[in-house]
Structure 1
């Protein structure tokens, strides 16, 4: 049964396979795409992958060094045993960019495991994490033409606030 977990080295092999799928798809404009650009060549080495995993987990710490435009972010991986299925990022606060475009929560599911309900289950499972971080409601955005993400967000209780350019902006309750 899939579950959200903190990043772990136990999914190293399937994580690399998933990243190859994102590369083949031409992934861009996501945290996963940024990871690929920054880390891909080195993370085949288990020690380098371990360092990457620890850095992703450390990004949740408010005092962790980060670029000025980044905010503390808890990243969780959606896994089924040793099988990496996707990731979800919960941004603890919103800067101007995130308020306009990015939102509190961003997610992606590996291409070969899409249309299986993982995104909806992953977002539902992440909402209590967001609530525990003091986020309620959470801003979740998607492209205006992304019918799959629109269904995911609305299935999780998202209420459309507006559309800004190509981005739909939803507020999703995180509490019971």
Structure 2
């Protein structure tokens, strides 16, 4: 079982290790509040706090809450961004929720659990229609979304990839 927690300085070492593991593996750091773009934990954490509410969100972004997915030993296994609203770019290729799981923790059901927990957070925020997107080649992510009730609406083709857009309606 995993749980979602808000990042704090207590997780600095684990967050930096998470970033390094994705860089080593050449994986995409989805759902990490742009972690790849920051040199230090402090810079990332300050941006994360700024972007957590409408009054201080940085230009070009939407307010979002970033969660760490930790296991029963408090080990960081995944990260997740829950965007409070969508802009035009997120409506096409980002959605309300982005997530990633460490390579050595994949195929254990963590992504499905993370998304389920994120949908509970959406309910609390009164986001009752949730958009989640993934690369068409990422079959595991598509399964995670469908396992949580996602219905494929369409696919958007760009030069780089085909993005699948799924909607989940919460009751």
Indicate the TM-score class for this superposition, using the shorter chain for normalisation. Answer: 0.7 to 0.9
Give 1:172 deviation, angstroms. 1.1
Give 1:5 deviation, angstroms. 0.9
1:2/1:86 CA distance change after superposition, 3 Å = same
Instruction: Give unpaired runs (5+ residues) of structure 1.
Output: none
TM-score, structure 1 as length reference:
0.85
TM-score, structure 2 as length reference:
0.87
Aligned counterparts of 1:65 and 1:148: Cα–Cα separation in 2: 31
Residue of structure 2 equivalent to 1:18 = 18
Instruction: Give unpaired runs (5+ residues) of structure 2.
Output: none
Residue of structure 1 equivalent to 2:163 = 167
Give 1:109 deviation, angstroms. 0.8
1:112/1:159 CA distance change after superposition, 3 Å = same
Question: Per residue, is there more helix in 1 or in 2?
Answer: 1
Give 1:27 deviation, angstroms. 3.2
Aligned counterparts of 2:169 and 2:57: Cα–Cα separation in 1: 30
1:146 counterpart (138, 143, 156): 138
1:36/1:148 CA distance change after superposition, 3 Å = same
1:142/1:148 CA distance change after superposition, 3 Å = same
Aligned counterparts of 2:64 and 2:114: Cα–Cα separation in 1: 16
RMSD: 1.9
Give 1:82 deviation, angstroms. 3.1
Aligned counterparts of 1:10 and 1:33: Cα–Cα separation in 2: 18
**Aligned length, in residue pairs:** 166
Contact kept in structure 1, 2:53 and 2:63, CA below 8 Å: yes
Q: Deviations over 1:30-77 (max 9, x none)?
A: 3548312323xx33xxxx3xx64354244221101402x211111111
